[in-house]
Amino acid sequence: MRRLAGAVLALLMSAPLLILGAAAPAQAAGASSTFKAEVWADNWFALYVNGKLVGQDSVPITTERSFNAETITFTATYPLTIALVAKDFKQDDSGLEYIGTNRQQMGDGGIIAQITDTKRSKVVAATSSTWKALVVHQAPLNVSCVTSRTPIADCGSKIIAEPARWKTAAFNDTSWQNATVYTPQQVGVKEGHTTITWSPSASLIWGSNLQTDNTVLLRFTAKAP
């Protein structure tokens, strides 16, 4: 009887520990989660996560006025290496738009994005000045060419190739500049921007110049919350 009573007592003492352990299981290393990305861009974007394309703007970059927002659902594992290609519309490498009309001008860009872990209902990444940015198409270098009749000859441009494997976790972006944050008034947000409820942590970002930076690569790493 004493042995039986001792065994029952030991079982009762261990039971709360077993229940407590079952109530909050740890997420297995490398376990996947489902995410929702919300992105608004002037004019176009492509979104990569962990080196894989998960979605892009449904309106082609050749569309002059494209201010729609996109919602993309994807599955990935932490940490998330987020890579965005952001492009403003340009008619050619001069960086101008509406060439040959009385509206010939430099365009301006801007992008805002947030990624939510849907299992946790938590925003785990939002565009800010902590994101890294590299401008790969800059034009015009001579901004006075905005009235030129031959802008492709007069404007000048700086174009560099996308770095190899820049969308992957192994890429070293420490030499890139931090993204620049802009206000909605500076970007001149329109249409689709108002269809999304943005987290207070999400900001409009771009390169250091809204008008002459035409294609910007953006990177950020999100760790598990």
In a domain, 60, yes or no: yes
Pairing of the two strands 96-97 and 105-106: antiparallel
In a domain, 2, yes or no: no
Number of domains in the chain: 1
Look up the domain containing 65 and give its range: 28-222
What is the pLDDT averaged over residues 171-200? 95
Question: Residue 74 in 3-state DSSP?
Answer: strand
In a domain, 8, yes or no: no
Q: What is the pLDDT of residues 45-59, one digit of tens each?
A: 999 999 999 999 999
* pTM assigned to the model: 0.85
In a domain, 39, yes or no: yes
What is the pLDDT averaged over residues 197-217? 97
Q: Which 8-state DSSP code applies to residue 125? A: E
Q: Which 8-state DSSP code applies to residue 94? A: T
In a domain, 200, yes or no: yes
Considering only CA atoms, which of 127, 95, 93, 94 is closest in space to residue 110? 127
Q: What is the pLDDT of residues 52-98, one digit of tens each?
A: 999 999 998 887 777 889 999 999 999 999 999 999 999 999 999 99
Q: Which 8-state DSSP code applies to residue 147? A: G
- Contact between 38 and 84 under an 8 Å Cβ cutoff? The reply is no
d(CA 188, CA 126): 20
